[in-house]
Structure 1
Protein backbone atom coordinates (compact mmCIF):
# COMPACT_ATOMS: atom_id res chain seq x y z
CA UNK A 1 0.00 0.00 0.00
CA UNK A 2 1.45 3.36 -1.05
CA UNK A 3 1.78 6.03 1.60
CA UNK A 4 0.01 9.19 0.50
CA UNK A 5 1.25 12.52 1.83
CA UNK A 6 -0.97 15.39 2.84
CA UNK A 7 -0.53 18.11 0.21
CA UNK A 8 -0.08 21.40 2.04
CA UNK A 9 0.72 23.40 -1.09
CA UNK A 10 1.07 22.63 -4.79
CA UNK A 11 1.11 25.19 -7.58
CA UNK A 12 2.64 22.83 -10.13
CA UNK A 13 6.22 24.09 -9.63
CA UNK A 14 6.44 24.30 -5.84
CA UNK A 15 5.08 21.60 -3.50
CA UNK A 16 5.01 21.10 0.24
CA UNK A 17 4.01 17.60 1.34
CA UNK A 18 3.55 16.24 4.86
CA UNK A 19 3.97 12.60 5.83
CA UNK A 20 2.26 11.91 9.15
CA UNK A 21 1.64 8.16 9.32
CA UNK A 22 4.93 6.38 8.64
CA UNK A 23 5.34 4.74 12.06
CA UNK A 24 3.17 1.93 13.35
CA UNK A 25 3.16 0.32 16.77
CA UNK A 26 5.00 1.87 19.70
CA UNK A 27 7.38 4.09 17.73
CA UNK A 28 7.29 7.86 17.98
CA UNK A 29 5.63 9.50 14.97
CA UNK A 30 7.00 12.87 14.03
CA UNK A 31 5.85 14.72 10.95
CA UNK A 32 8.12 14.60 7.94
CA UNK A 33 7.92 17.25 5.24
CA UNK A 34 9.12 17.29 1.65
CA UNK A 35 9.53 20.62 -0.12
CA UNK A 36 9.99 20.44 -3.90
CA UNK A 37 10.78 23.55 -5.90
CA UNK A 38 11.29 22.65 -9.54
CA UNK A 39 14.34 20.37 -9.57
CA UNK A 40 15.37 21.17 -5.98
CA UNK A 41 14.22 19.26 -2.91
CA UNK A 42 14.54 19.30 0.84
CA UNK A 43 13.32 16.87 3.47
CA UNK A 44 12.50 18.41 6.83
CA UNK A 45 12.97 16.28 9.97
CA UNK A 46 13.01 12.97 8.06
CA UNK A 47 13.09 10.80 11.18
CA UNK A 48 14.92 7.69 12.25
CA UNK A 49 15.18 4.04 11.30
CA UNK A 50 11.42 3.48 11.60
CA UNK A 51 10.64 6.16 9.02
CA UNK A 52 13.59 5.86 6.64
CA UNK A 53 12.29 3.10 4.35
CA UNK A 54 8.65 4.19 4.08
CA UNK A 55 9.66 7.86 3.69
CA UNK A 56 12.32 7.17 1.07
CA UNK A 57 9.88 5.03 -0.95
CA UNK A 58 7.08 7.61 -0.70
CA UNK A 59 9.36 10.61 -1.37
CA UNK A 60 10.93 8.91 -4.39
CA UNK A 61 7.59 9.35 -6.17
CA UNK A 62 8.30 13.11 -6.18
CA UNK A 63 12.07 13.24 -6.69
CA UNK A 64 15.27 11.36 -7.38
CA UNK A 65 16.51 10.65 -3.84
CA UNK A 66 20.14 10.43 -4.87
CA UNK A 67 20.10 14.00 -6.18
CA UNK A 68 18.18 15.58 -3.30
CA UNK A 69 19.68 18.92 -2.23
CA UNK A 70 19.01 19.15 1.50
CA UNK A 71 17.91 17.35 4.60
CA UNK A 72 16.95 19.80 7.33
CA UNK A 73 17.05 18.71 10.97
CA UNK A 74 15.42 20.98 13.55
CA UNK A 75 17.38 19.18 16.30
CA UNK A 76 19.34 15.99 16.96
CA UNK A 77 16.75 13.66 18.54
CA UNK A 78 16.46 10.18 16.96
CA UNK A 79 12.83 10.71 15.87
CA UNK A 80 14.01 13.74 13.87
CA UNK A 81 17.36 12.73 12.31
CA UNK A 82 18.24 9.27 13.65
CA UNK A 83 18.67 7.86 10.13
CA UNK A 84 21.24 10.51 9.16
CA UNK A 85 23.73 7.81 8.16
CA UNK A 86 21.32 6.42 5.55
CA UNK A 87 20.59 9.86 4.10
CA UNK A 88 24.33 10.51 3.85
CA UNK A 89 25.04 7.20 2.10
CA UNK A 90 22.04 7.19 -0.25
CA UNK A 91 21.85 10.88 -1.23
CA UNK A 92 24.12 13.79 -2.11
CA UNK A 93 22.16 16.03 0.28
CA UNK A 94 23.73 18.49 2.66
CA UNK A 95 22.40 18.09 6.21
CA UNK A 96 21.31 21.51 7.46
CA UNK A 97 20.78 22.18 11.16
CA UNK A 98 21.42 24.86 13.72
CA UNK A 99 25.06 25.44 14.61
CA UNK A 100 24.29 24.24 18.14
CA UNK A 101 23.00 20.83 16.95
CA UNK A 102 25.55 20.42 14.14
CA UNK A 103 28.21 19.22 16.59
CA UNK A 104 25.91 16.43 17.85
CA UNK A 105 24.97 14.93 14.48
CA UNK A 106 28.30 13.19 13.74
CA UNK A 107 27.70 11.11 16.89
CA UNK A 108 24.75 9.50 15.09
CA UNK A 109 26.92 8.38 12.16
CA UNK A 110 29.07 5.25 12.23
CA UNK A 111 32.60 5.58 10.94
CA UNK A 112 31.80 3.23 8.01
CA UNK A 113 29.62 5.94 6.48
CA UNK A 114 32.64 8.00 5.45
CA UNK A 115 33.28 6.65 1.97
CA UNK A 116 34.23 7.88 -1.48
CA UNK A 117 30.55 7.97 -2.32
CA UNK A 118 29.36 9.97 0.67
CA UNK A 119 32.48 11.89 1.72
CA UNK A 120 33.09 12.95 5.29
CA UNK A 121 30.03 13.56 7.43
CA UNK A 122 31.69 16.79 8.57
CA UNK A 123 31.75 18.05 4.96
CA UNK A 124 28.04 17.35 4.56
CA UNK A 125 26.70 19.08 7.69
CA UNK A 126 25.87 22.76 7.35
CA UNK A 127 25.44 24.60 10.63
CA UNK A 128 23.35 27.75 10.44
CA UNK A 129 23.49 30.45 13.12
CA UNK A 130 21.04 29.89 15.95
Structure 2
Protein backbone atom coordinates (compact mmCIF):
# COMPACT_ATOMS: atom_id res chain seq x y z
CA UNK A 1 0.00 0.00 0.00
CA UNK A 2 1.34 3.41 -0.95
CA UNK A 3 0.37 6.32 1.28
CA UNK A 4 0.59 9.83 -0.19
CA UNK A 5 1.57 12.14 2.67
CA UNK A 6 0.16 15.66 2.70
CA UNK A 7 2.61 18.52 3.26
CA UNK A 8 1.44 19.18 6.83
CA UNK A 9 2.62 15.69 7.89
CA UNK A 10 6.07 15.80 6.32
CA UNK A 11 7.99 15.83 9.60
CA UNK A 12 5.56 13.58 11.43
CA UNK A 13 5.68 10.75 8.91
CA UNK A 14 9.10 9.71 10.21
CA UNK A 15 7.60 9.20 13.66
CA UNK A 16 4.61 7.35 12.24
CA UNK A 17 6.79 5.08 10.09
CA UNK A 18 9.01 4.36 13.09
CA UNK A 19 5.99 3.45 15.19
CA UNK A 20 4.67 1.11 12.50
CA UNK A 21 8.07 -0.59 12.37
CA UNK A 22 8.49 -0.80 16.16
CA UNK A 23 5.02 -2.28 16.58
CA UNK A 24 5.74 -4.93 13.92
CA UNK A 25 3.24 -3.70 11.35
CA UNK A 26 5.85 -3.32 8.63
CA UNK A 27 6.71 -7.01 9.04
CA UNK A 28 3.11 -7.85 8.11
CA UNK A 29 2.30 -5.11 5.62
CA UNK A 30 4.08 -3.35 2.83
CA UNK A 31 3.36 0.32 3.50
CA UNK A 32 5.35 2.95 1.63
CA UNK A 33 5.05 6.65 2.42
CA UNK A 34 5.47 9.10 -0.45
CA UNK A 35 5.68 12.85 0.12
CA UNK A 36 3.90 15.24 -2.25
CA UNK A 37 7.19 16.51 -3.62
CA UNK A 38 8.42 12.93 -4.22
CA UNK A 39 5.24 12.35 -6.23
CA UNK A 40 5.92 15.48 -8.30
CA UNK A 41 3.16 17.53 -6.67
CA UNK A 42 3.68 21.09 -5.49
CA UNK A 43 3.01 21.89 -1.85
CA UNK A 44 0.35 24.37 -2.93
CA UNK A 45 -1.48 21.89 -5.19
CA UNK A 46 -5.24 22.04 -4.86
CA UNK A 47 -7.02 19.45 -2.75
CA UNK A 48 -8.79 18.24 -5.89
CA UNK A 49 -5.53 17.69 -7.78
CA UNK A 50 -3.98 15.81 -4.84
CA UNK A 51 -7.09 13.62 -4.39
CA UNK A 52 -7.27 12.86 -8.11
CA UNK A 53 -3.57 11.97 -8.17
CA UNK A 54 -3.96 9.65 -5.18
CA UNK A 55 -6.98 7.93 -6.73
CA UNK A 56 -5.37 7.57 -10.17
CA UNK A 57 -2.30 5.97 -8.58
CA UNK A 58 -4.21 3.80 -6.07
CA UNK A 59 -2.72 5.62 -3.07
CA UNK A 60 -4.22 6.35 0.30
CA UNK A 61 -4.06 10.07 1.03
CA UNK A 62 -2.91 10.85 4.58
CA UNK A 63 -3.65 14.36 5.75
CA UNK A 64 -4.47 16.44 8.81
CA UNK A 65 -5.91 19.71 7.59
CA UNK A 66 -7.80 19.53 4.31
CA UNK A 67 -11.17 21.26 4.69
CA UNK A 68 -14.52 21.96 3.02
CA UNK A 69 -13.84 25.55 1.99
CA UNK A 70 -14.28 26.22 -1.72
CA UNK A 71 -15.09 24.16 -4.78
CA UNK A 72 -11.66 22.51 -4.90
CA UNK A 73 -11.64 21.63 -1.20
CA UNK A 74 -11.01 18.04 -0.23
CA UNK A 75 -14.46 17.53 1.24
CA UNK A 76 -16.19 18.98 -1.83
CA UNK A 77 -13.98 16.87 -4.10
CA UNK A 78 -14.78 13.66 -2.21
CA UNK A 79 -18.51 14.42 -2.33
CA UNK A 80 -18.55 15.30 -6.03
CA UNK A 81 -16.00 12.87 -7.43
CA UNK A 82 -16.00 9.96 -5.02
CA UNK A 83 -17.30 6.61 -6.22
CA UNK A 84 -18.01 3.30 -4.49
CA UNK A 85 -14.51 2.18 -5.49
CA UNK A 86 -12.62 5.32 -4.40
CA UNK A 87 -9.93 4.83 -1.82
CA UNK A 88 -10.53 6.63 1.46
CA UNK A 89 -8.73 9.73 2.64
CA UNK A 90 -7.15 9.12 6.04
CA UNK A 91 -7.28 12.18 8.27
CA UNK A 92 -5.33 12.41 11.53
CA UNK A 93 -7.72 13.82 14.08
CA UNK A 94 -5.14 15.73 16.12
CA UNK A 95 -1.88 16.58 14.41
CA UNK A 96 -0.40 18.09 17.58
CA UNK A 97 -0.89 14.81 19.44
CA UNK A 98 1.23 12.78 17.01
CA UNK A 99 4.22 13.56 19.22
CA UNK A 100 2.55 11.55 22.00
CA UNK A 101 3.65 7.90 21.79
CA UNK A 102 0.30 6.41 22.78
CA UNK A 103 -1.68 8.54 20.32
CA UNK A 104 0.82 7.79 17.54
CA UNK A 105 0.57 4.07 18.28
CA UNK A 106 -3.22 4.30 17.99
CA UNK A 107 -2.92 6.13 14.67
CA UNK A 108 -0.37 3.61 13.38
CA UNK A 109 -2.55 0.65 14.36
CA UNK A 110 -5.60 2.20 12.72
CA UNK A 111 -3.66 3.00 9.54
CA UNK A 112 -2.37 -0.58 9.44
CA UNK A 113 -5.89 -1.93 9.92
CA UNK A 114 -7.17 0.21 7.05
CA UNK A 115 -4.33 -0.94 4.78
CA UNK A 116 -4.87 -4.57 5.75
CA UNK A 117 -8.61 -4.48 5.08
CA UNK A 118 -8.70 -1.79 2.39
CA UNK A 119 -11.51 -3.55 0.51
CA UNK A 120 -13.81 -2.77 3.46
CA UNK A 121 -13.17 0.95 3.14
CA UNK A 122 -13.71 1.58 -0.57
CA UNK A 123 -16.10 4.42 -1.19
CA UNK A 124 -16.30 5.69 2.41
CA UNK A 125 -14.76 9.04 1.50
CA UNK A 126 -12.87 10.00 4.62
CA UNK A 127 -11.73 8.16 7.73
CA UNK A 128 -10.56 9.97 10.82
CA UNK A 129 -7.91 8.25 12.92
CA UNK A 130 -7.21 7.12 15.53
TM-score by length of 2: 0.32
Structure showing greater relative contact order (alpha-carbon pairs closer than 8 Å, 6 or more residues apart): 2
Structure (1 or 2) with the greater strand fraction: 1
TM-score by length of 1: 0.32
Structure (1 or 2) with the greater helix fraction: 2
